[in-house]
Amino acid sequence: MSADRTAAAPRFDLPEPDAFTRPYWDAAAEGRLLIRRCAGCGRAHHYPREFCPYCWSEDVAWERASGEATLYTWSVVHRNDLPPFGDRVPYVAAVVDLAEGPRMMTEIVGCAHEALRIGMRLTVAFRGGEPEAGEAVAVFRPGC
């Protein structure tokens, strides 16, 4: 039996939420960035985990992040053959330091590549969230 050639290409830019991460994706759809904070050691972390990666405590809870960050590092991607990234090139893949402490992988939008500087202030924005676009994904843009 042959594969259905009319099926849509898989999307590599959309998350697959589960029961644990659903609060994170629901908040993103509302324009809020959530992180996890440990009640045991007080440290915040991202990506969401059910335990603290620093002290292994399971006493962690969701917390609204300020949405402020600074640019730690970046790379301008000029080629990506996975859909839908090929339609977005060139784009900026980046790592940012959230104001609350954790580092986060993301994309920088709304800024000329030449204007990027380590330590520049950024603020969160969200891509997607509409029913046809899937889950909203946090991206960052210049200015706080």
Residue 9 lies in a domain: no
The pLDDT score that the predictor gives to residue 109 is 95
How many domains does the chain fold into?
Answer: 1
Residue 120 lies in a domain: yes
The pLDDT score that the predictor gives to residue 1 is 46
Q: Which residues pair with 124 in a beta bridge?
A: 140
Residue 137 lies in a domain: yes
Residue 46 lies in a domain: yes
Residue 11 lies in a domain: no
- The tens digit of pLDDT for each residue in 23-61 reads 999 999 999 999 999 999 999 999 999 999 999 999 999
The pLDDT score that the predictor gives to residue 60 is 97
Domain with 112 in it: 22-142
- The tens digit of pLDDT for each residue in 3-12 reads 544 555 555 5
What is the pLDDT confidence band of residue 70, given thresholds at 50, 70 and 90? very high
The pLDDT score that the predictor gives to residue 130 is 56
Q: Regarding beta strands 68-77 and 121-127, do their DSSP bridges make them parallel or antiparallel, or are they unpaired?
A: antiparallel
Identify the three-state secondary structure at position 114. Answer: helix
Residue 17 lies in a domain: no
Residue 71 lies in a domain: yes
Cβ neighbours of residue 122 closer than 8 Å, sequence gap 6 or more: 68, 69, 70, 71, 96, 108, 140, 141, 142, 143, 144
Between the alpha carbon of residue 122 and those of residues 6, 99, 111, the distances in Å are 41, 10, 10
